Structure 1
Amino acid sequence: MDTTATATATATATATAADADAAVATALDVRAVPAPVLAALRRADDAGHAREAFVTGTGGHPLRCCLTRARPGDRITLLSYAPLLRWAAETGCDPGPYLETGPVFVHAEPCAGHPGGWPEGFHGGPRVLRAYSADGRILGGRVGEPGELPSLAAELLDDPATAVLHVRAVEFGCFLHEVRRG
């Protein structure tokens, strides 16, 4: 058996799979918390609380403003955020009991935001992709590892009944970011 040919075929298949995943990721519209929403949340969050900024000693906090991880010494804020609230206002739907509020970390001051594309390095473990219908109801979801999240998101959004996805932490259930069709 020619090991060189096998290695080349394996490398080509791996590169092709990586290229396909990259193409999927660029077709998705990955959204951090928008800057105008952040400005309002920094004044009073969705639970009506004033922000409490602090300097992180260890870093690693998932920042929903730019979809990166906080570095040691970053000044960040923990806020209450209702992600379906903005989407519902934009689309005119009423998500009813699915309108939930939860904690999110953001930079204490405005940052450059998310540059677009799938946030590489942001997801450190398994995540839940929760699918919502156009009327704001949960349709279902999938759990996936970081490397498979873009293709799982594309698969869920291939269902015409799915209007939007929320990516959430498995361990705490916290909202991380939104994904729409690109």
Structure 2
Amino acid sequence: MLDELRVRDDAGNRPRPYPDDTGGAPLRCCLRSSTAGERIALISYAPLRRWAAQTDADPGHLTGGRMLELPGDAQTAFAHALAEAFADPRTAQVHVRAVEYGCYHFRVDRP
């Protein structure tokens, strides 16, 4: 997948790397911040579309959503939120996104 995204992103665009003058940009590919002068690129990544193509599924629509603020026991809170989401039989997977920009972080498939 990463090799594909280096050629064309999920919107069909060629990546245009540029030097990050100040550093500190969130790099979702490697879960760290960029460093000053590092070459980075903003790309389109559509995981739901990729999943649908791989499984020949119709991605349909969102069945719900919620914002989860992580308390001291984040693991229990996250497990509870996933159990709540998968209680709906229409839910095939849960996408975890950043609140600030809606950036996709990862997905959890139905167990």
**TM superposition score normalised by structure 2:** 0.74
Match of 2:102 among 173, 176, 179: 173
Quote the sequence identity (%).
45
* Greater RCO (CA < 8 Å, at least 6 residues apart): 1
Whether 1:69 and 2:20 are equivalent positions in the alignment is no
Q: Match for 1:176: what amino acid?
A: H
Contact 1:62 1:176 in 2 (8 A): no
- Cα distance in 1 for partners of 2:48, 2:18 equals 27
- Report the equivalent of 1:103: none
Q: Match for 2:63: what amino acid?
A: L
Q: CA RMSD in A?
A: 2.2
Larger radius of gyration: 1
CA apart distance, 1:78: 0.9
- Cα distance in 1 for partners of 2:45, 2:99 equals 18
Paired residues in the alignment total 104
**TM superposition score normalised by structure 1:** 0.49
- Report the equivalent of 2:49: 85
Contact 2:26 2:33 in 1 (8 A): yes
Unaligned runs of 5+ in 2: none
Whether 1:41 and 2:1 are equivalent positions in the alignment is no
Contact 2:25 2:34 in 1 (8 A): yes
Whether 1:144 and 2:109 are equivalent positions in the alignment is no
- Cα distance in 2 for partners of 1:70, 1:168 equals 17
